[in-house]
Structures are given as C-alpha cells and as structure tokens.
Amino acid sequence: MTRLEATFARLRERGERALVTYFMAGDPSLADTRRLVIEAARRGADVVELGVPFSDPLADGPVIQRAAMRALAAGTTMPRVLETVATLRAEVSVPLVLLSYYNPVLAFGLEAFARTAADAGVDGVIVADLPPEEADPLAAQAGAAGLDLIHLVAPTSTPPRVRLIARRSRGFIYVVALTGVTGERRELPADLATQIRRLRLVTTKPVCIGFGISTPAQVAAIGRLADGAIVGSAIVRLVEERAGSPTLVEDVGTFIAELKAPLGPGLGDPPQTPVRAGLRAPARTPPVGAGLGAPAKTPPARDGLGAHAKTPPAGAGLGAPARKTTWAAGAARL
C-alpha cells in the first residue's frame, strides 16, 4: 500500500476527509517552501502538492502563473525541487505530490525523473497536460519506481474517458470542478454533484476535487461529496500577499487549519457506489449546500479531440523543448 493509499484509508476509517494543499515550489523561495510545507502538515494538511514552476503554465490562472514566474526568476528548477523534497521527507510524514507540466519531466528524462523523485520521497505525480492516451511511457517508469501517477477528469470528459481515467489513476482521482483555469471562484458549479455521481458509478478509488475551491464553506461542501478537497490559488495568493512578512508561515498555517476544520472526524463514510461483477447500482447524491446549488443535469460531453499542438521553445533554463499537449486541447481530452 502506498503512502497515499494508506492516508485515504486511515481518513476513511475516522470518517474524515482529506485536505490537499498546493504550494508553488520556490515561491517566495525554496527555503520558505520547506517551512510552509512543515507548517501545513502540522496544521492539518493531509496531502501536500508542490507545483514545479514552468514557463508556459496553461492550466493555471493569474495567481499561480505569477507564482511560477517568481519561482523561475529565483532559480527554481526540477532538480532543486527534488532536493527540497528529499529534505522535507525527513521532516514530514504526509504524502508529497508533484504537480508539473510534461516538458520539465521530459527534459529531465522519464526514467531518471521517476527514480530520482521516488528516491527523494515523492509519493505521486500529476502532469496537468498529459492525457491518459499518451501517459504509458511515464506510467511505466512511475510504476516501476513506486510513484502514483494521478490523472485528472474534467467536466467535459466523456463516459468512456471517465472510465479510462478511473482505471489508470493511482493514489486518487483529481476531479477538475470546472472548465477553465485554476483560480478562486465565488461559487462552486451547480452540477458538481452530478459529475461526482457519474464518477462514483465506475470507481471506488478516492476522489478529490480541485479548481475554484478557496473557502472553508466551499471545502465543507466538497467534504459532503468527495474524499478530499484541493486548495491551491487561495493559499498561493496568501503566500504572495505575506511574502517577506515575519508572519508568513503562521498566517498560512492559520488559514490551512481553518480549511481543515470542516473536514474533521465524524463525517462518516464518503459517498460510494459499489462496483461488483459489472453491476452498477444507482448512486445517491449527498446533500448539496454551501454554494453548490441544486444539482443540474450534465450537458452532453464533447470530446473535442484534435491534433496536438507543438510547444514553443521552453524557457527559463528548462532545456530543449519537448512536445506536449496544450491545456485547451488537453482539458477536452481528459
């Protein structure tokens, strides 16, 4: 059992949901990232995602884009992020997950990346612009090294694609709550419960929801639907606002504790749909609240497949450009 699997199993036994927190590695510095991750784990984060800065972060909104540019300007690279993880692994026990784009991974080399990441103590990898059809080479190396390769499922994912992603994802399934880029939203999508219910029909793997989640009230609503809530932009924005302040770590820790509070013990088992012998029982939709609104019918999904775009030359010292799928095409393909 991997560290991610053990974490979700333990939370489920306690009737608890996971808080997954995201930090951009190297913003404002890798030393600060280390301090922030330690504080996050101390204040209630169950899983920590570390973003690997990239010069063309197509899935991200302005808050995380700015953080990536600051981290790159400060000299953050994939090797330095992995060195930071190796240091952190001796200081925290929570799962550590890298969120990267494919170009930095390809530039590092798939086998070398998987081995080095696993040796450093990375537990899982999310590659935002890597569709499952093109993930086999990385999946093979990640599996051999003991890394969980986590895939994303989007609101536009077709039923066959949902099944494919559910089958291939390891550790947990990352549900993209909305169409568009990362960033804080005032309300969660009204049809989110329907999206989760559709996914529960085909898997019993842990399901975590990200994109647009930024407040304790929204986290509480997610806790009634899924196994975990992923909060990124709201934390990165707070880091941006408090950078250079002596209270940076304390302020971020306080916010993380507020986010974790509604996910604590006593929530019971997360909604599940047993999948046995090919029979799929109808899933129940949990109570909807805190801005979710009444569940809406999911419109017909569009596959949106097309030729993959070529990546322009990668900047900020990332080496020779590698082919990757743009987020616009990749989101439709998820």
In degrees rounded to 5, what are phi and psi of residue 173? -105, 130
d(CA 34, CA 117): 16
- pLDDT, residue 331, reads 42
User: ∠138-142-148 over CA atoms, to 5°?
Assistant: 115
pLDDT of residue 180: 56
Position 272 scores a pLDDT of 62
Q: At what angle do helices 30-43 and 248-260 cross, to 10 degrees?
A: 40
Listing DSSP states for 180-218 in one string gives S-S---SS--TTHHHHHHHHHTT--S-EEEESS--SHHH
Per-residue pLDDT of the chain (334 residues; tens, 9 = 90+): 999 999 999 999 999 999 999 999 999 999 999 999 999 999 999 999 999 999 998 888 899 999 999 999 999 999 999 999 999 999 999 999 999 999 999 999 999 999 999 999 999 999 999 999 999 999 999 999 999 999 999 999 999 999 999 999 999 999 998 765 565 556 676 788 888 999 999 999 999 999 889 999 999 999 999 999 999 999 999 999 999 999 999 999 999 999 999 998 877 776 664 443 333 333 343 443 444 433 333 334 333 333 333 333 434 433 333 433 334 334 444 4
Annotated catalytic residue: which of 16, 39, 46, 49? Answer: 49
Residue 274: strand, helix, or coil: coil
Quick one: CA dihedral 175, 181, 183, 187, positive or negative? negative
Instruction: State how many domains the chain has.
Output: 1
CATH number where 327 lies: 3.20.20.70
Is 49 one of the catalytic residues? yes
Res 316: pLDDT: 40
What is the model's pTM?
0.80
For residue 330, the model assigns a pLDDT of 43
The predicted structure's pLDDT at residue 312 = 38
Q: Is 39 a catalytic residue?
A: no
Q: What contacts 69, CB < 8 A, 6 or more positions away?
A: 53
At 60 the pLDDT is 87
**pLDDT of amino acid 141:** 98
- Quick one: which H or E segment has residue 5? helix 3-13
Whole-angstrom distance, CA of residue 28 vs CA of residue 131: 30
Name the catalytic one among 16, 46, 60, 191: 60
Give pLDDT, residue 83: 98
Of residues 96, 174, 164, 176, the one with CA closest to residue 136? 164
Which residue range is the domain that position 153 belongs to? 3-333
- Which single residue is written with the structure tokens 């992020």? 81
Query: What dihedral angle (degrees, nearest 10) is formed by the CA atoms of 289, 292, 293, 297?
Result: -130
